[in-house]
Structure 1
Amino acid sequence: MVEPTFICDDDYYVPDANQLITEDDTPVDNFASAKQQRLLVSSLYSALKTQIFLAEANVGVYYTDLQPAIVPDVFLSFDVQVPQNWWEKQNRCYMVWRFGKPPEVAIEIVSNKEGDELGKKLRIYEHMRVSYYIVYDPTGQFGQVLRVYELRGMRYSEISETWLEQVGLGVTIWQGEFEGRQDTWLRWCYQDGNILLTGDERASQAEQRASQAEQRAQLLAEQLRRMGIEPSD
């Protein structure tokens, strides 16, 4: 057990970060999960530029110093930012007592049954009071591709709704291409169902709009010439 540290005169317990494992340098994941994690994180930073939030993949979350960190595949926490001095031990991962609250959303991507996403991990996020816990099971290990749990009181309830009211975002299953890979993906979406775009998708749409505008201009110029009018006149 970590020796307690007290600040001020309020006997407020602050765990000593120097005695916690903030990284163990043993990442073990698969290509599909890694790409899915990048998609979920990158689209948030591309689409929510005016909001303050922290979204990461495979970063440890400590809710107590009495238990090892849990490492969500993806988490999302609003109204918090990584401190500037992020190399300091206490700033290297998400310690709930330093950020003042747990993340609003935790996502686990199922690749096998050993992760116990519907058992131990669910109970940990529930105890941590994460508002929404999402289990994405692309290969159907547990029989259902997408499960969404909402914290109601002290317990999680599985809900059929994929709109996360408390965070103003939803999730959806999407068929398409990301980083050159055509597949089925879990995406963030707005309430109208439109997905949050990545930076590359935004750039591609801008190029398409520019190309369409140029084509319209060329068509108009041809029509004017047939009428005996030079477009430059």
Structure 2
Amino acid sequence: MTQSLTPQITPEISSRKPSPDDFEKPAIPDLTNVTIDNSEPVDNLISEKQQRLLVSSLYSSFNVSEPFLATANVGLFYAANKPPLVPDIMLSLGVTLPEDWSEKKDQSYFTWNFGKSPEIVVEIVSNKVGNELGNELGTKLKDYSQARVGYYVVFDPFHYLGKPNLYIYQLKGINYQLISTNWLEEIGLGLTIWEGEFEGKSYQWLRWCDEQGQILLIGDEKVALEKQRADQEKQRADEEKQRADQERKRVEYLEEILRSQGINF
């Protein structure tokens, strides 16, 4: 019995490099019925002040060569078929704001428009709902990992979650891992608990810091620091002038004594 053999056809291999046009571009979601602002009030006064402190200090003192976006309570849309996350604080490096804000697609953080996920989000625990089985250390931990946010920070000023008041997670693969350092190497920023006064309220605030632990100052603090330096410089100059005047008077006194003794020079 003779078998019929099917000829083997070797596919032609092209040396041409693929171009962006060879790949199917993702469809841009229709945002017509998407709610980007649900008009919910802020949690409490401490949380509201804490958010402004973190955002304003970045714009005042974060020395980075690339543009960045820092926001408070802005929607983070990471998937077309999922509701947005609304972090208390969000920082994204290497992105710029659109010049025209008239369109809905430019009024929130849509990852497909900015081309990347944020580097870090911060959630501030303001009530007992934020527990390990609930929000900040539960569902939000999972949600932000799915959004591919590099660092997830939970600040618990009232210790609703336990003894620690600061939790820092870093994305490792597809899951977050709790880390022991407060220095975020990939971002060039650190976090520290700072006890001091902000807008007339003395408290233990969460602050950005550099690698040496020096806090990033807000505008008012920078002005106050410059004034302090100027006052110290003026005081130093006044002291130098006072010493010079005293020396001049001492020399004049000695000259007068010598003249009284008939010694001329």
Following superposition, the deviation at residue 18 of structure 1 comes to: 2.1
CA contact (8 A) 2:120 2:149 kept: yes
Question: Equivalent of 2:102, from 77, 87, 91?
Answer: 87
1:135 aligns with 2:150: no
Q: TM-score, normalised by structure 2?
A: 0.81
| Counterpart-to-counterpart distance in 1, 2:136 and 2:38 | 21
Q: Which position in structure 1 is the counterpart of 2:61?
A: 47
Partner amino acid, structure 1, of 2:88:
D
| Counterpart-to-counterpart distance in 2, 1:131 and 1:12 | 23
Partner amino acid, structure 1, of 2:153:
I
Partner amino acid, structure 2, of 1:149:
Y
Following superposition, the deviation at residue 11 of structure 1 comes to: 4.7
- Kindly report the root-mean-square deviation, in angstroms, between the aligned alpha carbons of the 2 structures: 1.6
CA contact (8 A) 2:72 2:90 kept: yes
Q: TM-score, normalised by structure 1?
A: 0.91
Partner amino acid, structure 2, of 1:23:
D
Partner amino acid, structure 1, of 2:155:
Y
- C-alpha offsets along residues 131-165 of structure 1, whole Å, 9 cap, x if unaligned? 00000000000012000000011110001111111
CA contact (8 A) 1:175 1:184 kept: yes
CA contact (8 A) 2:151 2:170 kept: yes
Partner amino acid, structure 1, of 2:125:
V
| Counterpart-to-counterpart distance in 2, 1:51 and 1:145 | 31
Q: Which position in structure 2 is the counterpart of 1:28?
A: 42
CA contact (8 A) 1:18 1:90 kept: no
Partner amino acid, structure 2, of 1:140:
H
SS in 2 for 1:119: helix
Following superposition, the deviation at residue 95 of structure 1 comes to: 0.5
SS in 2 for 1:228: helix
- C-alpha offsets along residues 71-97 of structure 1, whole Å, 9 cap, x if unaligned? 000000000121011231100100111
- Between the aligned residues of both structures, percent identity stands at 48
| Counterpart-to-counterpart distance in 1, 2:154 and 2:80 | 25
| Counterpart-to-counterpart distance in 1, 2:23 and 2:208 | 44
Following superposition, the deviation at residue 27 of structure 1 comes to: 2.4
Q: Which structure has the larger Rg over C-alpha atoms?
A: 2
1:71 aligns with 2:86: yes
1:218 aligns with 2:262: no
Q: Which position in structure 1 is the counterpart of 2:140?
A: 121
Q: Which position in structure 1 is the counterpart of 2:52?
A: 38
| Counterpart-to-counterpart distance in 1, 2:68 and 2:98 | 12
Q: Which position in structure 2 is the counterpart of 1:194?
A: 214
Aligned length: 223
- C-alpha offsets along residues 104-144 of structure 1, whole Å, 9 cap, x if unaligned? 00100001132410001110001111000000000000012
| Counterpart-to-counterpart distance in 2, 1:171 and 1:97 | 29
Partner amino acid, structure 2, of 1:101:
K
CA contact (8 A) 2:42 2:48 kept: no
Say if 1:28 and 1:34 are closer, same or farther in 2 by CA, change over 3 A.
Answer: closer
User: In terms of mean alpha carbon deviation, does 136-145 or 15-24 score higher?
Assistant: 15-24
Q: Which position in structure 2 is the counterpart of 1:104?
A: 119
Partner amino acid, structure 2, of 1:166:
E
Query: Which consecutive unaligned segments of at least 5 residues does structure 2 have?
Result: 1-20, 250-265
| Counterpart-to-counterpart distance in 2, 1:51 and 1:211 | 34
SS in 1 for 2:242: helix
Partner amino acid, structure 1, of 2:240:
L
